[in-house]
Amino acid sequence: MTNQTAPDYLNQEFIITREFDAPRKLVWKACTEASHLARWWGPRGFTTPVCEWDARPGNKIYVVMRAPNGMDYPMGGKFHEVVPPERLVTTSGALDENGQFLFEIRHIMTLVERKGKTTLTMHSRVIKTTPGAGRYIGGFEAGMTQSLVRLGEILKSGSEPVVIERTFKAPVARVWQALTDVNQIRRWYFDLKEFKPETGFKFQFTVQHKGTTYCHLCKITSLIPQKRIAYTWRYKGQPGNSLVTFDLVADGDQTKLKLTHEGLETFPKTPAYARKNFMGGWTYITSAFDDYLQNVDREIHITREVQAPQELVWKAMTDPEHMVNWWGPNGLKTTMEKMDVRPGGTWKYVMHGPDGADYPNKSIFKEVVKPERLVFKHGGSRKGGPGANFVGTWTFEKVAAKKTKVTIHMVFPTMAARDVVVKEYGAIEGGKQTLERLDNYLAKM
């Protein structure tokens, strides 16, 4: 059959049958819900970064299969009949670079259950071909057979991975850089000491949660620049191993991301490793990633570890009697007029430069989470100079008993507004000097 030309495939029929050791409702769910179908669709080694598969009559199908070498194969189609949990009729086919069908195949899938097992029968007939379609249609039977083998493996494991899909308003090159540059990773992910986007590279990080320390051990297993990065994920001293995969698909100036974390069933069967915790964690992380991508061009981010316990750092930041001794860049002094540290409270002060210039400032506190975080809306200027308006967040993270990581995060209305503050007031260097002064003052407290 592989020697046939494309026209010879017209009306060609394929009948594939496979029995699964699973009830029909479960097999139906795996074949009709996008999050499940994406796990097994395609030959072995392929992934499915895009799976628009809403099984209702008249709905369109759009799936992108990604080969191990990074080549993408888009597929379109349509749902015609949906009779749960017995019968599914669709048409589908590969798309060319213009989104046109290279061929179309009509599929009739039926499910029959006997004694707890389900027989799936796929009856497929080629209804349209074009020149060059033969190489795709010729591999259809083998590819579908491999897909159904993968489906059987998933049904047997009974596991359900965490799958999160998001679209970011950023080009794929920027998203990829934020995923693989260690300095950017630390901004939205975890505080990795080292990271290199190389297959085989091992990295680790530690997270403390509810009094327990979790040491994560990871190893990159797959890397396709601007398309995919995957790594194993396990815990030191605990059984089990899992796989985290980030798949990217460029969509003009936007990027579609699909995150899959599978193998969770191998971890200890305790509440700490429950699937809902991973779902919540990855939802938070992908939201933080989105925030980072949206704000990176209009923010200032400065971090320093100071040699003092968290409570003492909080006191130095929120007690005006202490704050006036270190606040501001080198050479500036501060007059504190008001500091009401509570949500809605006002913070007013004037910084005095060595050249006699005054810098009046006023902020309104939005969040006060003792001793971890302060968020405030800030407005300030130099008399006769440009204004500076931003939302500021100071965080105080306990690193050790007498060590605290202090982070200044300022988000400006626009990139231009950020650039003015950097140029006119030396905000980045000034922030670094302020944290250095804080560190030196804490040593005396």
Nearest one of 84, 118, 90 to 104, comparing CA atoms? 90
* pLDDT score recorded for residue 188: 96
440 CB-near residues (< 8 Å, 6+ apart): 326
Q: What is the pTM of this model?
A: 0.79
**DSSP structure class, residue 272:** G
CA distance 109 to 15: 10
Question: What is the signed CA dihedral for 273, 275, 276, 279, rounded to 10 degrees?
Answer: 110
Exposure on the CB side of residue 164, measured as CA atoms within 13 A? 21
The CATH T-level fold of domain 307-444 is Alpha-D-Glucose-1,6-Bisphosphate; Chain A, domain 4 (3.30.530)
* Nearest 10 degrees: Cα torsion 30, 31, 37, 40: 80
**Burial level of 419, CB count in 10 A (0-12/13-18/19+)?**
middle
- Helix/strand/coil for 155: helix
Does the 162-294 domain belong in CATH 3.30.530.20?
A: yes
| Cis peptide upstream of residue 74 (ω within 30 degrees of 0) | no
Concatenated DSSP letters of 329-377: STT-EEEEEEE--STT-EEEEEEE-TTS-EEEEEEEEEEEETTTEEEEE
Query: What per-residue confidence (pLDDT) applies to 4?
Result: 45
CB-count burial class (<10 Å; 0-12, 13-18, 19+) for 90: buried
DSSP summary character for residue 298: G
Q: How far apart are CA 214 and CA 237, in angstroms?
A: 9
Residue 275's H or E segment, with its range, is helix 275-295
Q: What is the pLDDT of residue 384?
A: 75
Residue 105 burial class via C-beta count within 10 angstroms: exposed 0-12, middle 13-18, buried 19 and up: buried
For residues 296 and 175, give the distance between their C-alpha atoms in angstroms, rounded to a whole number.
11
DSSP state string for 206-255: EEEETTEEEEEEEEEEEEETTTEEEEEEEETTS---EEEEEEEEEETTEE
Find, among 209, 213, 202, 14, the residue nearest to 106 by Cα.
Answer: 14
Domain-wise residue ranges, the chain: 6-157, 162-294, 307-444
**Rounded mean pLDDT for each run of 10 residues along the chain, 445 residues in total:** 57 97 97 95 95 97 96 97 98 96 98 97 97 90 96 90 96 97 96 96 93 95 97 97 97 96 95 96 97 94 96 97 96 96 97 93 97 96 84 95 96 95 93 97 93
Find residue 410's DSSP bridge partners: 300, 392
Per CATH, 162-294 and 307-444 having the same topology is answered: yes
The pLDDT assigned to 5 comes to: 43
Angle between helices 140-157 and 24-32 (to 10 degrees): 120
pLDDT the model gives residue 6: 42
CA distances 323 to 19, 308, 312, 318, 351, Å, are 72, 15, 12, 7, 12
Q: Which amino acid is at 233?
A: W
Contact 252, 139 (CB under 8 A): no
What order do you get walking across the sheet with 299-306 strand by strand?
299-306, 403-411, 387-400, 373-381, 358-369, 346-352, 333-339
Give the model's pLDDT for residue 407.
97
Coil, strand, or helix at residue 66? strand
The CA distance from 439 to 433, in Å, is 10
Q: What CATH class is the domain 6-157?
A: alpha beta
Residue 428 and residue 300 in contact, taking contact as beta carbons nearer than 8 Å:
yes
C-alpha distances in Å from residue 250, one per residue of 45, 50, 102, 180, 265: 21, 11, 22, 17, 32
* Closest to 361 (Cα-Cα) out of 340, 388, 392: 388
